[in-house]
Structure 1
Amino acid sequence: MTRGRLVVAAVVLIVVSAVLGGVVGAWLRSGSDASNGSGGSRGSGGSGGAAPAGTPCDVTEVAARVFPSLVTVNVRGGGGAGSGSGSVLDREGDVLTNDHVIEAAAVTGTITVDFARGQAQVPARIVGRDPATDLAVIRVPPDSVRLTPIAAGESAALVVGQPVVAAGSPLGLTGTITSGTVSALNRYINVGQGDAPATLVNSIQTDAAINPGNSGGPLTDCAGRQVGVNSAGAQVPGSEGGSIGLNFAIPMDFARSVADELIRTGRATHPSIGVLAVTVTAEIADATGLVRGALVEQVVPSLGAARAGIRPGDVITKLGGTPVNSVDQMLVALREHEPGDTVEVAYVRNGNPTSASVAVSGS
């Protein structure tokens, strides 16, 4: 189980993973460490054109596109029992979900998958886990079930106000759809606990309801393309739980790059140049005169960016030859490099373009 804290508008909220336990199906609350469940949801998928900001989704159409790729993940192990959600990535049987959904079976235990439009109790095994980013890939035997991979959308193309749809199995209710909008972007949400740090990197904030059991399921655009992995929701301390309209998903561009590495190697690396940045959208660029890219807000002392002279206020526009119009694109481009590499970073400072060779660190 994971939880963190988020301060918004002077109200302290508890940020918790969307977990459904085998015995207790409720939001984790401050002080309730005794839950024995694990699970959640993420969402996205489909094909076709996405609706512009302010235009409602045809949720019926989205559901028809997403449900063949949607699964419920059931877990039993030494760490407890619970359920969450996931989405089919490919025809090899790989399924993307949250790490906190399957962590109870990480050492010993069993995982089965129920397809929203197909077979139930299909056995699955863990391909790879990345607790630091709360992502995991599991695999079902590809010859045992009909597989419909979810269509991947571009999380870097999301805008505030854009309609989105979340799919999953809240409270074990399989094949559930909720809709809402992108409320905000570029949220860095700490959902770690104790000695298990975990951060939702550059996460998508949405008011589409994400409840216990939704974790790992897809957050999609109006064409049913996965743009995020539903992971956590905020709750006012002392409340009885349930979605309050502050929910968070991992951007699909980043999630897919982690998933690809887990599929290839069974583990994920965490390359970093030591910056915390936010996306300069077209709207922000028009309002401020900044160029499109990743606006550096903080620089970690002693790491690559700081040593190369990059400062807060710089806008990164290219990394290793790859154009950067968003933080998502920067993170995905960075994942093409290994800790110990040196990468050329182009950036703009006070309207002047420049570049620097930056050392890549990681864990």
Structure 2
Amino acid sequence: MSTSPTAPDPAVTVQNKPIESKPVESKSAENRPVESKLAESKSAESKPVESKPSLVELPARPQHQDDRVVPRSRRKTKAIAAACLAVGLVVGGIGGYALVSRTVGAAELPFWGPKTSQPAAPDGPAGGTIESAAATASESVIVLRATGPGGSSVEGSGMVIGADGLILTNNHVVEVAVKGAGTISATTPTGQTAAATIVARDPAADIAVVRASGLSGLVPVRFAKSDDLRVGQTVLAIGAPFALTSTVTSGIVSALRRPVRAGSAGGAETVMSAIQTDAALNPGNSGGPLVNLAGEIVGINSAIYTPPVPAGTVAKAEPSGIGIGFAIPIDQAKRIADELVRSGTSTQAVLGASASDTSSGTVRIEEVLPGGPADAAGLRTGDVVTRFGNELIGGANALLAAVRSRPAGDSVQLTLGDKRVITVVLGAKVTRAGV
């Protein structure tokens, strides 16, 4: 890894230095817009693999600088510090249900959950039931199997967004097929199977769109607005955990705008402002829908928290969910998917500053990119950010997740520690990934 200083990335980055934080108690893992498509129709025991899945450990006192705490390279200005929950991505291996080999950085839990002024609501749309929602959404859920070099394979889920075969999923479900002569297959709930190809993908957002050819009777999903979700609202997760197709689990929205970080060795790291749910998620659920009681999609199931393996022991089974699962909000995913389908690229909002955590649980601006959005708004080195819009910011990754959840060009108010309020117009960074 390079150790030389580099210019700050035009996004929210975090100074790669020891994190001063309070101790955290832990017991430790057709090219048209998507909207036009919708208008047309209203990872158990595994067989041996070369790499073992990496589990997550939450250190009580992350005081040293290493790759468990700092998931990117050891460069001074481009690393993302550990200010959010690190998790495992819920994909499974074919046959033995093995989790695809992924390196997930360790992190501390935030001192508090992201606050929301929205009132809690115990249920979703009036008149909806778990049974009716499952029946509505399940017919649009696809099982995806991707293979790559050396026989490596991943199984996950996806959802139909176009009757011509467009399917929305996580990037980490299909990325193994990008290298070498990889393949992807898609299987419908009725048992039809066809080859699929990647249309476009955004690794940083963990979003991909694939197209399956030759499938008939596809029913596109219906989207809700994830911004309308309430804590306590009933939701369903649908997918193929451990290759058990058309599995439905239910739970509630446990939290909103939870900063979550996950990544893979040699791959892009994802930092998301996630929907947290206690609906059971397990390897194979990745890319499948999180659904409200109207059978509408509110999120893409993507990750689970997995406790660490105790020192001196070896994991003998696939890590599974413990009631702490995370989904990418569909408002964000749908916007990115639409861009990917239309242009093959996506835009990511950027702030144009680097930041670090402080011992008091706040975020200090370490460097401002000259001429960037933060500079234009008057943000300066040493400023402390306490709110991003209406969200309390309890860590540098929470700020990064909040920025990435917004579209480029959004105007957002930042509240600073000295009570100043400044307005930032978020910049744009174009993402183009190979397919």
TM-score by length of 1: 0.73
- 1:49 corresponds in structure 2 to none
Is contact 2:158–2:289 with CA below 8 Å preserved after alignment? yes
Amino acid at match of 1:267: T
- 2:116 corresponds in structure 1 to none
3-state SS of 2:334 partner:
helix
What are the within-5 Å matches in structure 2 for residues 254-265 of structure 1?
254-265=332-343
Match of 2:219 among 140, 145, 148: 148
Shift of 1:265: 1.9
Shift of 1:24: 3.1
What are structure 1's unaligned runs of at least 5 residues? 33-51, 277-295, 318-326, 338-342
> Partners in 2 of 1:230 and 1:300 — Cα distance?
34
- 2:275 corresponds in structure 1 to 204
1:172 aligns with 2:238: no
Cα gap change, 1:300 to 1:261, in 2 (>3 Å): farther
Match of 1:302 among 336, 358, 368: 368
3-state SS of 1:189 partner:
strand
3-state SS of 2:88 partner:
strand
Shift of 1:195: 3.0
1:129 aligns with 2:227: no
Shift of 1:348: 6.5
- 2:170 corresponds in structure 1 to 98
- 1:267 corresponds in structure 2 to 345
Shift of 1:357: 5.5
> Partners in 2 of 1:194 and 1:144 — Cα distance?
34
1:113 aligns with 2:186: yes
Match of 1:62 among 118, 130, 133: 133
What are the within-5 Å matches in structure 2 for residues 1-363 of structure 1?
5=56, 7=58, 15-27=87-99, 53-55=121-123, 58-78=129-149, 80-107=152-179, 108-116=181-189, 118-141=190-213, 144-238=215-309, 240=317, 241-274=319-352, 301-303=367-369, 304-307=372-375, 308-310=377-379, 312-316=385-389, 334-335=407-408, 337=409, 345=412, 355=423, 359-360=427-428
3-state SS of 2:368 partner:
coil
What do residues 55-84 of structure 1 show as CA deviations (whole Å, max 9, x unaligned)?
A: 486221111100111110122232612311
Amino acid at match of 1:125: T
What are structure 2's unaligned runs of at least 5 residues? 1-50, 63-67, 69-84, 105-119, 310-314, 355-361, 391-399
Is contact 1:169–1:176 with CA below 8 Å preserved after alignment? yes
What do residues 163-204 of structure 1 show as CA deviations (whole Å, max 9, x unaligned)?
A: 110000111111100001111122222211333232141011
- 1:279 corresponds in structure 2 to none
3-state SS of 2:367 partner:
coil
Cα gap change, 1:59 to 1:145, in 2 (>3 Å): same
Is contact 1:228–1:251 with CA below 8 Å preserved after alignment? yes
Residues paired across the two proteins, number: 310
What do residues 139-173 of structure 1 show as CA deviations (whole Å, max 9, x unaligned)?
A: 123x6411211011111111221111000011111
Shift of 1:301: 2.8
Give the aligned CA root-mean-square deviation in angstroms.
Answer: 3.7
Shift of 1:14: 6.5
Is contact 2:192–2:215 with CA below 8 Å preserved after alignment? no
- 1:44 corresponds in structure 2 to none
Amino acid at match of 1:115: T
Is contact 1:74–1:112 with CA below 8 Å preserved after alignment? yes
What do residues 261-306 of structure 1 show as CA deviations (whole Å, max 9, x unaligned)?
A: 1111223332312479xxxxxxxxxxxxxxxxxxx96657314353
3-state SS of 1:64 partner:
helix
Is contact 1:254–1:328 with CA below 8 Å preserved after alignment? no
> Partners in 1 of 2:155 and 2:424 — Cα distance?
47
> Partners in 2 of 1:198 and 1:63 — Cα distance?
32
> Partners in 1 of 2:254 and 2:333 — Cα distance?
20
Shift of 1:109: 2.1
Amino acid at match of 1:110: T
3-state SS of 1:185 partner:
strand
Q: Which range is displaced more, 150-159 or 350-359?
A: 350-359
3-state SS of 1:20 partner:
coil
Structure with greater Cα Rg:
2
Shift of 1:347: 5.8
